Each structure stands twice: as C-alpha cells, then as structure tokens.
Structure 1
Amino acid sequence: MEELDPSCNPLDPLLVDNKAAPDAPAKEVETPPAPPPPPPGPNAGFQDPNTFDIIRATQYGVFHRVRELVESGYDVNQMDHEDVSLLHWAAINNRTDIVNYFMSKGAIVDRFGGHLNSTPLHWATRQGHLGMIVQLMSFGADPSLRDGEGCSCIHLAAQFGHTAIVAYLIAKGQDVDMLDKAGMTPLMWTAHRVFGYDPSRLLLTFGATLNKADKLHGNTALHWACSVGNHIVIKMLLNKGADMYVVNHKGDSPLDIAISQCNAELVKKLRAMQATAQATKQSFLGKYAADKIFRRRVCYVFPFIALFLIGYIPEMSVAWGYKLLMFIPFAAATHYTMKHFVDEDAANTIPLAVYLSTKFWMYFTWLFYLLPYFGSDPTIHIIFTLNTLLLSFNFWKAWRTDPGYLKSNREDKIKTILELAETQTLKFEQFCSTCLIRRPLRSKHCNVCNRCVAKFDHHCPWVGNCIGANNHKYFMGYLFFLSGMLIFCLYGCHLFWSVNCPIAFYEDGITGVLYKLFKASPWIAWIGLNALFHIVWVSSLFVCQMYQISWLAMTTNERLNQMRYSHMQKMPGPEEGCKRDQGGHGHNHGGHGHCHGGKPTPKVVSPFNRGVVKNVVDVMGWRCCGLCRPLKVDWTTKFTLDSDSGPNYQASNFHAGRENYQFV
C-alpha cells in the first residue's frame, strides 16, 4: 500500500478531464451560466415586450406575445439557431403556462436539442424545477431517456443535489440503481458531487446498492466519495456497511484513492477503521466483538462492574500497595473493553447503563450501609419507598413508551411523495429524506433512533429513548423523583459521616475533610460523590425543562433551532413595527420589534403558548378531577398552525418555490 507523497497532484485527471471520464457532468456544471439580459422594466435600455421575438418572449414568460406569434403561424416545434426548441426554453425557465400552451399546439415533449442533446425534461431537472418536471411528465415526458452524455433524469437530479426530484422520480418508478452510459448509479453521482446528507440518504433509504461498481472505472460509491473527500457521505456509506477493501479496475481500494488525493485526514480515518477491524479479528474474543448484540450486552454490564470495583477496592482491608496492584488488571480490562466492544452504536447504551448501575449501587448502599442511621421513624421510610415506586414507574414509561414515532410503509411513502410533488409542496424543510414521510409540526428525525418523532424534544441517553409527544410527562416525572432519590442518598451519607467522622471545616480545611470522608468509608464517599454529580445535572435539566415548558412553550429542539422554523417567527404588530421619527436613524423600535433598513424582522415566539399554567397542564396531561382541561393534540398528524395563532405569524415557507432561471 502506498504512503502519502507530498508531491502528489490532488487533481486526479479522472475527476477533471471529461475525456478521461466521459461519465462526468457537462462542462456547464463547473462553469456558471452567462448572466441573463436585463429584465423588462422602466429603465433606459428597456425593450418593449411587444417587440420580443418568440425565443425571448418564452424565456421571460411574456405569454401574450408568445400566443400572438404562434397564432400568426410560428411552428412551436421549430428549432432555433442553437438547435433548441421553444419547449426547452419554457422548461428551463419554469414557464408553466407557456408549456401548457405549447403542448396544446402540438409541441413534441421529448424533443432532443442543444449541445448536450437533451430533452426539456433534462433541462428542467438540471435547474431543479420540480413543478415543471411534474407538468412535463403529465404530458408523457420520459425520464429514463438519456441525454448526449448518457445520463437520465435521475442521474442529473442526483449529481445536482435535487433531492425532491430524486424522490419523485423513484416514486414514479425509476430504478434507484439505474445505470448511465458509464455504468454509474445515482448513489455514485451523489457521493461524487453532493457534499451533504441528501440525496444520498434518500437513495440508501430506497435500497440503493452499496457496493455496485461502475463499468468504466470499477469504482463503487465509496471510491467516488473518497476521490473528492466527501466525509459526510463516506461516513454514511461505512455505517451502512460499504466494503472498505473492494478494488476498482486499477486495483485501488478506497484507501488507495484517498492516498492518491493527498487527503491525510481521510487516510488516517480509513486506516484507523481497518486497524480496529483487523485487531478485532485477531483478538481471542474477536468473534464476540463482531457480534452487535454481545457488544451491547457488554456495554450494559461493564458499568455495574466498574462502579463496584472503583468503590470496593479502596474499601478492602488490605495494604494500599495491594489495592493499587488490583487497579492494574482493572485498567487493562477497561482499555480492552473500550477498544474492542464499544463502538458508536454500542456507546449509545452506556449512559443508560451508568444510570441503572448507579441507581443499583445507591440502593445497595441504602440497605446495607445507611438504613440503620435513619432510626425507627416510619415516615421517612414510607416517603422513600413511595419515591422509589414513582421513580421506577416514570423511568420505565419514559424508557419503554413509544415517544411518538411516525409510521409509514413503502406504499404510503410513495403516495406521500407523489401527492406532495404534484401539489407543489414537496420541500425538504418538511419532508424527511430518511423516513420518506411528511414531517408534522414540531417533529424531527432522531439520528440515534433513526426515526422521526412527533413533538420531538431531544434524545435522552439516560433513558435510552427519544423524548416526544407520548413520554415527555414521564420524563419530567423521572427527573423529579430521581432528584428525590439523590437527595435521600446524600442525606443518608451525611448521617453516616456525622456519626463516624465528625467534621470541622474551620479546623480541618477542605483537604482534611476529604481525607476524613474517604478514610471513614471509601465506598460511602464514592457513592456520595456519584450522587453529588448526578444531582447537579438532574436538577439543572429539570429546571431547564420546566422553564421551556411553562414559560417558552417550546421543546428543546425548537429552542435550539428556533430560527430554522418559520412557524416560530412572529412579525411585529403595528405597535411594535418600525416607525418614522425625526431623530436617530429615521425610525424607532417599539416593543420587541427589530428592523433592518426600515423593514421589521420577526421575533421568536411560540405559537403554542397558552400561558404558564396551561402549558404545564398540556404537557403533563393533568385533569385534577376535571378542574384542568389539557389541550389534546395529535402531533403525528398536525401539519399546519391553527387559525387562532394570530395573523402576525410568518406564513410557512415550507412550500415556497425556488426561482432558478436560465435565459441563455
């Protein structure tokens, strides 16, 4: 295997020379189009639209002029001096009304033209006009036709990153592994051209073949991603099980490609993954380390053993030298376990296992160490038992309850894509490219669970589940009663220390106090330290959650990403807007309104806010024998705001079209 050569050329001819790679996109992919002529307007150089020729009128969408020229005898199928039809110009500029008119006059929908020898559907695909694609296909346009470079529409949509178009074409029956002239699949094109999660994630969800190789070079999608250093797609492919060792026609693996491109970071990453895989195979527990279920079980069990040994070894009545020797095999076992059994997937279970093990040893300490110090008063024991039962109930419900996963089968997904595309509402701000479903308000895709969750708050590793519409109230109960359990534990430790090692901070100092605590019982000190650590984050999280629920009426996701959601943007009202005055910069800002250049900008306000008390009641579902009336909302099917949210909220931009024209 080659080493990195500092003098190697990072520009592989495979990637930049169209002659070496005839399957690469056309040159205008690399070169931006020429600027359009000045639009019609009341300017000095204004040209009357009534004098436009039919090409210019079609480009600018001057429908009355187009109709006038066609009615006077112009043939809609006549090609211009660039061998381009009128339908091509209408398609690339998204002139839907003109396309309808041309089709009514007998325009050929699959006419090839231009120096790329492509159809109007190809032109619309390159520009990302989903609505135009739907319109042309309704007139019978064939998306499987190849242009002069051998690409069908799905290949063009993939290489230009038009995820919505890729989804629509697959929903209309295009093969997710369709080959172009050079044998490249859409997944290979996205790996090579699109530096982002979409549309690669969508193609993988639809079942794109990971290790298929193209005919010309023998490259897989992983080869193509490594050739351009596309780290996002590389990680996605490897997580899905792409083969790191497959070689192309030149005998190069993805690692060899990364070396030839002088991509030191990628080379280091791939070598580390190969070394880890090789070490796992060679270890005497290699077959177990390769088993995902076994790795997960190890991650559950290991924290129980580790927490016990860290507290028990110092508690042993042997010399400190022997205690230190005992930590050596423990440290070695820890290192081996973390190296061979804890991967990214298994690591997600560790926080939950830490919580369960900490809770187990705290209850063990309560029963066998601290219980005698509480005396015979049954009140505290009843409260402790009740808190334990409520904690266990809320934890179990938060852990095992479906948080609000959005469910859909393949037929429903296809139907949703077609419906949204054909109604011009297939925008990926409100469509999940992994689950292939329309996302309701307040929902989000969880990368850990790999599911979309209704009213998503966050993924909590301490309960091993997402917190969403169905289990948020149990999560709040879990935090509250867990705080109670930790307070009981700290109070028990205090009673133990007050009897066994009286403390005088003024005389002993901090170091003296710590010495006394650990000398009295290293185990109690260890448990107390754990309780102190957990009470900090648990109480802080509970307060933060209560603030978000009651005062802000937001989820954690909405609070962190509030500027990304248009339904959280409220435009200032008349009393808050920018008003002209005589001083300063010409206007003042009333209320919370802000402005830029005299235009008010929205402020972030939750449209779901019903007041502090009602907000809490809505989340917790409290009825109090009919005194409270929580608002019942099915967050799995709520896609729009209620009409009573107020007129000042910004209209959702989920369905806003993108203007992307090319006149010349």
Structure 2
Amino acid sequence: MGTAEENFEGRTAKEADNSQASVTSLEPIAPANSNSASASDVPLGANENSIHNQDLILQEYRDACQSGDLAKVKEMIELGAINISHDYDEEEMVSGLHWASINNRLGVAKYLVEKGADVNFKGGNLKATPLHWAARYGYVYIVDFLLENGADPTLTDHQGFNLLHLSINSSNIMLVLYVLFFVVGDKISIDCVDPDNRTPLLWAAYQGDSLSVKALLDFRADLRLADNGGFTPLHWATVKGQPQVLKYLIENGGDFLQNTNENKNCFVISQEMHTEHSLTSALLENGFNAEGFPVFKLFKNPKHAKLLTFITPWILIGLILNFLATLNIFVAITFTTLLGCVSIKVLRKFVIPSYNLRQSGSVFLKTPFLAGILFGSIMWVFYVWITRVLPATMSEELLANVLFLAFLTICLGLFGRLVLSDPGRITKEQELGSVRITTKELLRIGKFDTRHFCTDTYKRKPLRSKFSRFNDALIARFDHFCPWIYNDVGLLNHKQFIFFLLSLVSGVICFSIACVEYFDYLEDGSMMDYKCGIFDDDVCAGLHLDTFAFLVLGWALLQAAWVSFLIVVQLFQTFKGITNHELNSASRKRHARDSGNEFFTTTPTDLMDEEELEALNQPALDSEELSHLKPRTCGGVCCALVGLDQILLVMKGFFGGSRNLQLTHSSSRLNFETNYGWRTNLSDFWLLGDTTAPLWQRLLYSQRGFKALLGGTEVDYEKLYTLPIRKFPADEMV
C-alpha cells in the first residue's frame, strides 16, 4: 500500500492557487508520475545548467514570455531577433508559448498564436504541448484560448496524460468543468485511461478532490473501472480517506467489497491506511453500517419518520412541564434528564436514520426536531389558554384574548406556509447548450470562478444568492437556514418569516396579560395570600395554584425572549439593506483572509480590473489575526440558534456604513454595496415592486417571483449580476 501511495504525487488546489506567479524553471511543473519514480525524476525539460548556457537573446525572450512583458515580446519578434517558428532552445525544446501558458500570460499567448506559434508543439522531456502546461496549473482561460485556436485535446504527453487527466491533476474545478462541458464526449472519453489504466475519476478520488469527483459522476464516469493493480476509484479514495469523496462514490454504486489484485477490499485498505473513520462515516451516510450491511430503518417512508421527529417534542415538553409541576424538584429533574436522553437516543438510532444518516456535526439541526419544539410550545400555550385562561378571563381581558387568538391564527398559518414554502429556489441547469453559453460569457468578462458560477447547479450565480444543500438549489437573496421552521429563508419567504416572528412575540405578550389575570382569578378564589418574594402576589398564586400553567407561561416567555433577539437582528438588517448571510460573510472577511485560492480564480491579469489587481496583492493573515479564528463550540451553536451571535456582530462593528463592500485590512466597520440608505432599504424589503397595487398589498404580500426592489429599482434576482446605481445623496447612508 505504501508504494502505491507514493506513486500518486498529484498537486492540490492550494498548491496551484496563485495564478499570477511566474514559473521560471522546468522542475515545478513536473506532472504527477504514475510510475515508481518520483515526479522530480521526470523533468519536462533541461536543468539550470542548460538554462545558463542558452543564447542571451533567447533568455531575454523567455523571461518576457514568463513575466507577461508583451511590449518586449513584440519588439523582439518584429525586429527579427526571434523567429516565431523556432523560438526555443534545441536542447529543452520549450517554446515561448509554453512559458506564456504556464504563467497565465493570456496577452502574450494571443500575440504568439497570432504570429504563427504552433499550439500543438511538444516540448520538454515529457513532450507536452502548451495546452498540457496550462492544464496542469488549472489555467482555464489559457486552455480555452488554445482550444479555440486549434490545440488538439486528444494529444498526450510522454506519460500518456491528455487534457482531462491534467485538468484533474490541477484540482481546479473550474477547468475540470470546462473540459467536461466542451471537450468530453465529443473528443475525449470521460473514462479515458493513462498507461496504467487509471481514469480521471480514479485520479480525482486519490487526490481527495470531492468537487471533481462529483462533477465526473454527474457526467456518468464509470466508477467500476480498475487500474492495472485492480484498484477502483473507491479503493484509491479509501487510501486518501477523504469522507466526502467516499460518500459520493458509495452513493453512486461504488463496491466497497470488490478486491484488488492483492485481494484487498476497502475495509482492509482502510485498516492499513488508518482511514477507517472516514470509510465508516461515508458508509453510514449512505445507509450502511461499519461492516457494510444496510442500516435498519424503522420507517420505509421518510416522511413518516420526519413526522414522528416533529411530533416527539410536543410530547416531551408536556411531560417535562408536568413532571416539574407535580413532582419533587429533584425527582422531576432526574425524570426529565432520563426522558430527554432516552428520547434523543431513540430518535437518533431508530427514527432519524430513516431519512438522515449524517453522523457528524449537529445531527438535529437538519431535522424537524427544533421546528417541533417551537410548534409544540405554541400548542401547549394554546392548550392552557383554551382550557384554563380563556374561561376565567373572557370578561376581564376580552381584548387580550381576542388579540391572542388573532395572533395565534396568524402564527400557525405562517408557520405552516414557511415550512412548505419555496424560499427562492434556482434549480440545476439541464441543457448543456445553456451551460456552454454561460461559461463562454463568464470567460469573456473574466469571472469564471466559484464566486460567479455555481458548481452544483451549473448556472451563473446571481448576486446575493447561495447554494443550499437542504433545498439542493441556489436560493435567491439567501438569508439563512432556520431549523426552527425547517427551511431556508430567502427572497420569497423572508417577509413571511419576520411576520411570523412578530406574531409569535405579540401572541406571547397577549397570553401573558391574560395569564396574569387568570392567576389573579385563582388568588381571589383561594381566599389566601401568597408571597414568593420575586413575583407579584397574583403571579405567586399562579405558581402555587396552577404550577403547570405557570411553567407554560415561563416557557413561552423564554421562547419570546430569544425570538425577540432574532427580530432585532432581522429588522436591523432590513434597515441596513443586507442579509444574515452577507453579514456573516463580511464579518469572516474582516477577521480572516484566506491565503489560498478560495474561489478557484485563474483570471489572467489582462482581464482583471483595478480592484481585482489590488485584491491580488493584499497580504494574508498574520499570526496575531489567525489567533482570533476559533472553531465553533457547543455554546457558539446555541448562540447561533437564538440569534445572539448576530447581536454580537452588530454591536462589535456594524454601526455605520459606506457605499462599498470593501473591507480593508484595518477596517473597523462592516460596509456593504447593498446599503442604499435606510429609506430605500426599508422600501426595497417591505414593498412589492408592483406600484399599481394598493399599499397594504405591497406591504403584506410576499414575493411571488424573482422580481423585487433593490435600490428603488425593480430587479430580477434570478439574473442579478450587477447592482443598481444609487439615486440618493451620500448623507442618507446609515
């Protein structure tokens, strides 16, 4: 196993992240070697000694091609100092187009091709073309240009690697997708093999490149094919131990019991490579236990299991409150702890596996359990109100009871709609022709990266959108995933969500007023005085005379407290013209800057604007800044669930604003391009774009399509690629 792993020396995405770095020697671009020799044993060209012996003019020309000095290249060719058909050293055989390609110098490459450079010239000891050199570093713009100008994608280098193999080796998902969209099928087979019978999927699996694995599987790559050693992609994924890659392969039918030529299956390999945990996790997520047998599922229909998960909190809340109301406090706490632990274990083992097999992270966050807690709380409040509070307070607190019933009806109706609502889904593109048009347009404007192209839906990513695993779609004007309604919050249901929160808190306030009157009614009927010290006499009477109702009131007030935090954050964000997701993203950018190529951007400097060039030269984090980055703890998760983390963000540095979403290294405030001034922001969020409709409809109705106001202008959020120009004076900013 050790020798097999040494044979795979593929580069990771972060190793090729700086698209503007000049490559001046041949050694760094040695391809991943599939033989027993290491990559450094098979250089693409000559060593440093041969470089020093080159003609000085050729050296100057090569340096100009590497650095992108187009003026120098033009001067040398047009003055006849360099012959474009023989612009290479006889020993290394590496042309100027090779050097321009591997350094992502699109302007130089275009000029050389225009002057007659051979796009299929094989150079170096590996006999690789400029296309091969560009592909190995993931330079999709260079690859696109060379293919458009006659480069042959079917050619292989000396190691037997073609364009698809080398694209996979770059670990740049944008290049991989480009080759799949434009080359695979027509000119190259998705299952093409190298001399060791290793397919692109096999290479991607070994490299632990989950994005490339997913893309190849989308294009129906055969995961049953084995290399000369009998290793399938699943075997090599087990060697690497990347859980998401293993999950994708098993999900698509990978056989974990298949043996290699040495009679080893995935379980044996995982033991030898110490990747048992990753394999077990992937198996569980696909419905198999650690031994490879199907996991027992109590419910054949996942909807029934979800319904039981949703209903269970109702019962738990009622039982726990009843224990606390009727039993000794220590006995009640003991019973409550036991009941909670047993219920959670039963749900995790017998119910949740019927629809959600995730084992890592907070499992309950992506189940209806928290939504059941919230809805169950509402139902117990309603039960106490209808059976106890209403009969005793109908005459004394008529208004509070009527308002409570109204808010309860609104709250329940909105809850049902939110759970079933479409938050603004933009689903996967099914037409290859449309994907190709989108890709070409993004390449033309220099924006073919994961900031602007969704690698899950194969669509251009609109501004303010985010891909949701929960809905398996891009969500327009994405705000956040809310486990309390078991759905995402986005453009089409955001207003409903805030109305739901407001009706919930308003209902609790009305219930509290009526409940206090009910306790007063109980005190009058008992002919006794009750003193508790911290409560008023009537509330104290409720504690003694109807403990269950008192506890329900306390539980309702607790729910209303954290919901109030959430309302404050949501209303403040509408005031500032931003979403929860944008606030979190900007905060992360403010406190951290990834030194790697997070968005797989390989845009040549020729296509970059001034802002992009400035961002390219910004420094990475220093050690002091890195010390602030901490993994989320259990307490952090709890704060996020009740909105306290957003309150802290607002308090730490949100007050104030400017016109740009440019967070400088020393910035003390979070600034957003979508902040058009508080009047415009509120109008954009709360009013529909249809100005012919009555004001009350514009205010109360939710969006029914992707057209909505932004900056006072109606925009289509499904195709929002640029923000509207501001129409207000600077002093309206907040």
| 2:422 partner letter | D
Give the equivalent residue in structure 1 for 2:553.
528
CA offsets 1:64-100 (integer angstroms, 9 cap, x no match): 2441365875634866311333432332233434434
1:545 to 557, 570, 575: 570
Q: Which moved more, 1:408-417 or 1:22-31?
A: 22-31
1:560 to 584, 587, 593: 584
Structure 1 Cα separation of the partners of residues 59 and 336 of structure 2? 90
1:293 to 274, 289, 303: 303
Q: Secondary structure at the match of 1:277?
A: coil
Quick one: structure 1 residues 208 and 148, their matched pair in 2 at CA, closer, same or farther if it must change by over 3 Å? same
2:205 to 191, 197, 203: 191
Q: Is the 8 A contact 1:454 1:636 kept in 2?
A: yes
Structure 2 Cα separation of the partners of residues 97 and 280 of structure 1? 54
- Does structure 1 residue 223 correspond to structure 2 residue 207? no
| 2:531 partner letter | A
Structure 2 Cα separation of the partners of residues 231 and 399 of structure 1? 31
The Cα of 1:167 is off from its aligned counterpart by 1.2
Q: Secondary structure at the match of 2:320?
A: helix
Q: Is the 8 A contact 2:33 2:39 kept in 1?
A: no
Give the equivalent residue in structure 2 for 1:586.
none
Structure 2 Cα separation of the partners of residues 327 and 59 of structure 1? 68
Runs of 5+ consecutive residues of structure 2 not aligned to the other structure: 10-31, 524-528, 594-609, 612-655, 659-663, 700-708
Give the equivalent residue in structure 2 for 1:365.
384
Structure 2 Cα separation of the partners of residues 114 and 491 of structure 1? 84
Q: How does 1:489-638 map to 2 (within 5 A)?
A: 489-500=511-522, 503-506=530-533, 520-521=545-546, 523-550=548-575, 552-562=576-586, 604-621=670-687, 631=712, 632-638=714-720
- Does structure 1 residue 435 correspond to structure 2 residue 457? yes
- Does structure 1 residue 250 correspond to structure 2 residue 262? yes
| 1:542 partner letter | I
Give the equivalent residue in structure 1 for 2:723.
641
The Cα of 1:477 is off from its aligned counterpart by 0.4
Structure 2 Cα separation of the partners of residues 178 and 482 of structure 1? 56
Q: Secondary structure at the match of 1:419?
A: helix
Q: Is the 8 A contact 2:520 2:538 kept in 1?
A: no
| 1:93 partner letter | N
By relative contact order (CA 8 Å, sep 6+), the higher-ranking structure is 1
Give the equivalent residue in structure 1 for 2:2.
12
2:103 to 82, 93, 100: 93
Structure 1 Cα separation of the partners of residues 375 and 259 of structure 2? 46
CA offsets 1:273-326 (integer angstroms, 9 cap, x no match): 79973799799xx353465334323323333333344345677899x9999999
Structure 1 Cα separation of the partners of residues 294 and 174 of structure 2? 45
Structure 2 Cα separation of the partners of residues 317 and 261 of structure 1? 54
Structure 2 Cα separation of the partners of residues 87 and 138 of structure 1? 15
- Does structure 1 residue 118 correspond to structure 2 residue 128? yes
Structure 1 Cα separation of the partners of residues 171 and 350 of structure 2? 37
Q: Is the 8 A contact 2:43 2:125 kept in 1?
A: no
Structure 2 Cα separation of the partners of residues 420 and 490 of structure 1? 57
The Cα of 1:540 is off from its aligned counterpart by 0.8
Q: Is the 8 A contact 1:406 1:636 kept in 2?
A: yes
Percent of aligned positions with the same letter in both sequences? 23
| 1:373 partner letter | A
| 2:192 partner letter | L
The Cα of 1:418 is off from its aligned counterpart by 3.2
Q: Secondary structure at the match of 1:260?
A: helix
Give the equivalent residue in structure 2 for 1:141.
151
Q: How does 1:146-165 map to 2 (within 5 A)?
A: 146-165=156-175
- Does structure 1 residue 131 correspond to structure 2 residue 213? no
Give the equivalent residue in structure 2 for 1:400.
420
Quick one: structure 1 residues 266 and 334, their matched pair in 2 at CA, closer, same or farther if it must change by over 3 Å? closer
Give the equivalent residue in structure 2 for 1:178.
191
Give the equivalent residue in structure 2 for 1:416.
438
Q: Which moved more, 1:369-378 or 1:128-137?
A: 369-378
| 1:180 partner letter | V
Structure 2 Cα separation of the partners of residues 381 and 110 of structure 1? 82
Quick one: structure 1 residues 59 and 165, their matched pair in 2 at CA, closer, same or farther if it must change by over 3 Å? same
Q: Which moved more, 1:244-253 or 1:428-437?
A: 244-253
Runs of 5+ consecutive residues of structure 1 not aligned to the other structure: 1-10, 38-46, 572-590, 649-664
Q: Secondary structure at the match of 1:288?
A: coil
Give the equivalent residue in structure 2 for 1:577.
none
Q: Is the 8 A contact 1:280 1:289 kept in 2?
A: no
Structure 2 Cα separation of the partners of residues 514 and 245 of structure 1? 66
Q: How does 1:312-461 map to 2 (within 5 A)?
A: 332=342, 335-342=345-352, 343=356, 344=358, 347-376=366-395, 378-411=398-431, 412-461=434-483
The Cα of 1:549 is off from its aligned counterpart by 1.5
The Cα of 1:636 is off from its aligned counterpart by 1.9
Give the equivalent residue in structure 1 for 2:224.
212
Structure 1 Cα separation of the partners of residues 293 and 237 of structure 2? 27
Structure 2 Cα separation of the partners of residues 382 and 203 of structure 1? 60
| 2:718 partner letter | T
| 1:416 partner letter | T
Considering only aligned residues, what root-mean-square deviation do their CA atoms show, in Å? Answer: 4.8
Q: How does 1:231-270 map to 2 (within 5 A)?
A: 231-234=243-246, 237=249, 244-263=256-275, 266=278, 269=281
Quick one: structure 1 residues 533 and 218, their matched pair in 2 at CA, closer, same or farther if it must change by over 3 Å? farther
| 2:407 partner letter | N
Quick one: structure 1 residues 431 and 214, their matched pair in 2 at CA, closer, same or farther if it must change by over 3 Å? same
Q: How many pairs were matched up?
A: 597
The Cα of 1:415 is off from its aligned counterpart by 2.8
Quick one: structure 1 residues 281 and 248, their matched pair in 2 at CA, closer, same or farther if it must change by over 3 Å? closer
CA offsets 1:492-539 (integer angstroms, 9 cap, x no match): 443444444764222xx79x9999867644542453343133112211
Q: Is the 8 A contact 1:455 1:555 kept in 2?
A: yes
The Cα of 1:170 is off from its aligned counterpart by 0.9
Q: Is the 8 A contact 2:400 2:511 kept in 1?
A: no
| 1:560 partner letter | N
Quick one: structure 1 residues 439 and 357, their matched pair in 2 at CA, closer, same or farther if it must change by over 3 Å? same
| 1:339 partner letter | K
- Does structure 1 residue 471 correspond to structure 2 residue 484? no
Q: Is the 8 A contact 1:355 1:462 kept in 2?
A: yes
Q: Secondary structure at the match of 2:426?
A: coil
CA offsets 1:459-502 (integer angstroms, 9 cap, x no match): 11222221112221111101100111222334444344444476
The Cα of 1:224 is off from its aligned counterpart by 2.5
| 1:191 partner letter | A
Structure 2 Cα separation of the partners of residues 399 and 32 of structure 1? 58
Structure 2 Cα separation of the partners of residues 13 and 263 of structure 1? 17
Quick one: structure 1 residues 361 and 626, their matched pair in 2 at CA, closer, same or farther if it must change by over 3 Å? closer
Structure 1 Cα separation of the partners of residues 115 and 441 of structure 2? 28
Q: Which moved more, 1:267-276 or 1:117-126?
A: 267-276
CA offsets 1:230-280 (integer angstroms, 9 cap, x no match): 345345556667555444333434343232123575477569779973799
Q: Secondary structure at the match of 1:540?
A: helix
Structure 1 Cα separation of the partners of residues 98 and 276 of structure 2? 45
Q: Is the 8 A contact 2:429 2:459 kept in 1?
A: no
Quick one: structure 1 residues 494 and 600, their matched pair in 2 at CA, closer, same or farther if it must change by over 3 Å? closer
